[in-house]
Amino acid sequence: MIKQGESIIMPPRIAHVDDDSDIRESVQRILFKNGYEVDSYLSMQEFIDSLQDETKKPDLAILDVMVESMDAGLTTYAKIHKQYPQIQTIFLTSLGDMIRPYFEDGSHEWVCIMEKPVEPVSLMATINERLKKAGEAA
């Protein structure tokens, strides 16, 4: 928490959904080390349920594509993007750009795909870029 004048600036909150505990733990360590608030989820349903709590609403979500099913990440994204368009999203997946055809033309502007395993420096650069874009759009 950073105080700026009279207001308090909270660090960005990131939600991470992955059914692989090793990946969840390593991403969580990277994010905590870089000053982010992190909520990790084992399933997309846990993440969707968490959005009912205003204090858990993330600035950015990192979603695996294949969690409960082959396309759970994609269907979850479709749900949250309609209701919460301000939440930036990164797909962290072993499928890489193979998922790109599932998005409409022009989606490269708002869909970010990173392939597992991801280097911490690359992940942080992408997160910072997505959060900066969100700040500019606000």
The CATH number of residue 18's host domain is: 3.40.50.2300
Assess contact for 72 and 100: CB atoms under 8 A.
Answer: no
Cis bond upstream, residue 58 (ω within 30): no
Assess contact for 123 and 30: CB atoms under 8 A.
Answer: yes
Residue 2 lies in a domain: no
Residue 98 lies in a domain: yes
pTM for this prediction: 0.86
SS3 for 133?
A: helix
Domain containing 27 equals 10-137
pLDDT(81) > 90:
no
Residue 58, burial from CB neighbour count under 10 angstroms (0-12, 13-18, 19+): buried
Tokens of 20: 């692989």
Given this model, what pLDDT does residue 105 score? 57
Q: pLDDT tens for residues 127-137?
A: 999 998 877 76
Number of domains observed in the structure of the chain: 1
Residue 122 lies in a domain: yes
What single string gives the DSSP state of each residue in 15-63?
EEE-S-HHHHHHHHHHHHHTT-EEEEESSHHHHHHHTTSGGG--SEEEE
Given this model, what pLDDT does residue 62 score? 96
